[in-house]
Structure 1
Amino acid sequence: MKQRQAMNKKELVEQIAEQSSLSKNKAEMAINAFIHHTQESLAKGDVVQLIGFGTFSVADRAARKGRNPQTGQEIHIPACKMPQFKPGNKLRESVK
């Protein structure tokens, strides 16, 4: 089975502009605003929930030990915060 090519931002802007009757410039501004405000919210520790689509959140990852794949040497991986996405029911159903 052939792997499908990922949709890039330009293609997303074109599709949103076409479907919403917005200019490409305004569609791109809307996408950029969504990305910006989602990043800001996650940076503050907030959750962004879009009912039916999914939930963006931040999870704490504990410090752990890993291995350098080239040398096999054990390394320490520090604790960090990781953005996460949990798909909503409608999104899950649409990709079955």
Structure 2
Amino acid sequence: MTKSELLDTMYQALRDQGNQAISRQEVIMAVGLILDHCARALVAGERIEIRDFGVFTLHTIAAKAGRNPKTGASVAVPEKRRVHFKPGQAMRRLVNSQ
């Protein structure tokens, strides 16, 4: 699912629930704010926990000595951080029930 598909799905779901006053632009802004806040929280090193969905955390990969495959020379690979997602119990149940 792409971001635009998510926005369309959320907009239609809100309209189906009787929220006729909400505009597509408001849905776009709300989703954008949520995603932006999550990204900023991860940058700050915070853990994001969405109950029944999952947890986003940062894992730090230590610096190491790598090797250039073309020349065989040793290369210093700097430390980096990556986002890790662990699905919640309800999410695992839903995915495995299909």
Aligned residue number for residue 30 of structure 1: 30
For 1:15 and 1:56, how far apart are their aligned partners in 2? 23
Structure number with larger C-alpha Rg: 2
Aligned residue number for residue 94 of structure 1: 94
RMSD over aligned Cα atoms = 1.7
The runs of 5 or more residues in structure 1 that have no matched partner are 1-6
Counting matched residue pairs gives 89
For 2:89 and 2:3, how far apart are their aligned partners in 1? 24
The runs of 5 or more residues in structure 2 that have no matched partner are 16-21
For residues 1-80 of structure 1, the aligned pairs below 5 Å read 7-21=1-15, 22-68=22-68, 71=70, 73=72, 74-80=74-80
Deviations 1:10-38 (CA, angstroms, capped at 9, x unpaired): 11100000112242211111110011100
Deviations 1:34-65 (CA, angstroms, capped at 9, x unpaired): 11100111111111100110111112111123
The residue matched to 1:60 in structure 2 has which SS? strand
Segment of structure 1 superposing worse, 74-83 or 45-54:
74-83
The residue matched to 2:11 in structure 1 has which SS? helix
TM norm structure 1: 0.79
For 1:93 and 1:68, how far apart are their aligned partners in 2? 43
